[in-house]
Amino acid sequence: MSINRFGQDAALIALDKFRTGKIDRRGFMTAMAGLGIAVAFKPGRASAAASEIVVCNWGGAALEAFQKAYGEPFKAKSGIEVVIDGAGPATGAIRAMVDSKNVTWDATDGGMTDAVVLGKGGYVVPIDYSIVDKSLVGEGLAAEFGICNYTYSNVLAYDAKKVGATAPSSWNDFFDLEKFPGKRTMCKWIQGQLEAVLLADGVKPEEIYPLDVDRAFKKLEPLLPNLIFWDSGAQSQQLFRDGEVVMGNIWHTRANLLRKENPNYTWTWNQNLMFASAWSVPKGNPAGKKVFDFINSSMDPEGQVTLLRIMGNGPSNPKALALMTDEDKAVYSLAPENAKTGLAISAQYYADNEAELQNKFLDFISR
Whether residue 93 is predicted with pLDDT greater than 70 in this model: the reply is: yes
Is the model's pLDDT at 38 over the cut of 50? Answer: no
Nearest to 70, CA basis, from 307, 353, 336, 229? 307
Exposure string over 125-152, b if 16+ CB within 10 A, otherwise e: bebeeeebeeebbbeebbbebbbbbbbb
pLDDT at 50: 61
Q: How far apart are CA 247 and CA 171, in angstroms?
A: 10
User: 19 falls in which pLDDT band (50, 70, 90)?
Assistant: low
> For 24, which DSSP code?
-
Cβ contact 283:123 at 8 Å: yes
Judged by average pLDDT, the poorest of 46-55, 213-222, 273-282 is 46-55
For position 4, what pLDDT does the model report? 67
Instruction: Give 56-91 pLDDT, tens digit per residue.
Output: 998 887 898 999 999 999 999 999 999 999 989 999
Q: For position 367, what pLDDT does the model report?
A: 78
Strand partners for 184: 227, 247
Q: Are 278 and 143 in contact (CB under 8 A)?
A: yes
Whole-prediction pTM value? 0.86
Residue 176 pLDDT > 60, yes or no? Answer: yes
pLDDT at 192 > cutoff 70: yes
8, pLDDT greater than 90: no
